[in-house]
Amino acid sequence: MMRLVVVGNGMAGSRLVSEVRDRDPHIKITVFGAESRQPYNRVLLSNVLAGSSRPEQVRLIDSTWYGAHRVEAAFGDAVAHIDRETRHVVTEGGRREPYDLLVLATGSDAIVPPIPGVERAIPFRTLDDCERIIEAAQQARNAVVVGGGLLGIEAARGLAGRGLPVTLLARVTN
């Protein structure tokens, strides 16, 4: 039986898994995710930050889906190594999983500039980040958002909507 391993449980990885299962009821599918959450729609995180959606409202796949569709999901255990010789992935937790077909759907990370003091800042990329920002906002008197692109503006809007005075810092280029 063909063994498919998908690394990444973001929007691309989770959609791939459901599409493959729809087309092939037999293939053995294992999906690994570094985030311990069920897959969610990252594009809608701004709504969670603004308070207009709850985390469960942006979920893409329910946890019961995996068992019902015979897909093994290992979330909260990142793949740390690919052994191409023996065709295995190895997770941070030490699990080895063999594959015939390996898909990397690992997306991207937030770029955190190397500015002194940056360790006190929270990036805006994951649902966990969102919850940390909301928690910090509850104690804060004001907020500074660094980055004036789409995500920076959405973060600033969300925080302002929570009643915080917000300063948005953007690099101006000609």
Ligand X SMILES: Cc1cc2nc3c(=O)[nH]c(=O)nc-3n(C[C@H](O)[C@H](O)[C@H](O)COP(=O)(O)OP(=O)(O)OC[C@H]3O[C@@H](n4cnc5c(N)ncnc54)[C@H](O)[C@@H]3O)c2cc1C
Task: Rank residues 50 and 164 by Cβ distance to ligand X and give the closer one.
Answer: 50
Kindly state the smallest distance separating residue 174's Cβ from ligand X, in Å: 26
Q: E strands, the chain, where?
A: 3-7, 28-33, 71-75, 79-83, 88-91, 96-98, 101-104, 143-146, 166-169
- Of the pair 32, 99, the CB lying nearest ligand X is at 32
Output the smallest distance, CB 42 to ligand X, in A.
3
Comparison of 3 and 76: residue with beta carbon closer to ligand X: 76
Q: How many C-beta atoms lie closer than 10 Å to residue 138's C-beta?
A: 8
Binding region for ligand X (CB under 6 A): 7-13, 32-35, 42-43, 45-46, 78-79, 105-108, 124-125, 151
Integer angstrom CA distances of residue 51 from 55, 134, 158: 10, 9, 7
Report the sign of the C-alpha dihedral through residues 88, 94, 36, 78, in that order.
negative
Provide, rounded to whole angstroms, the least separation between the CB of residue 41 and ligand X: 8
Cβ closest to ligand X, residue 78 vs residue 140: 78
Burial 119-132 (b: 16+ CB within 10 A, else e): eeebebbbbebbee
Q: How far is the CB of 21 from ligand X (least distance, A)?
A: 17
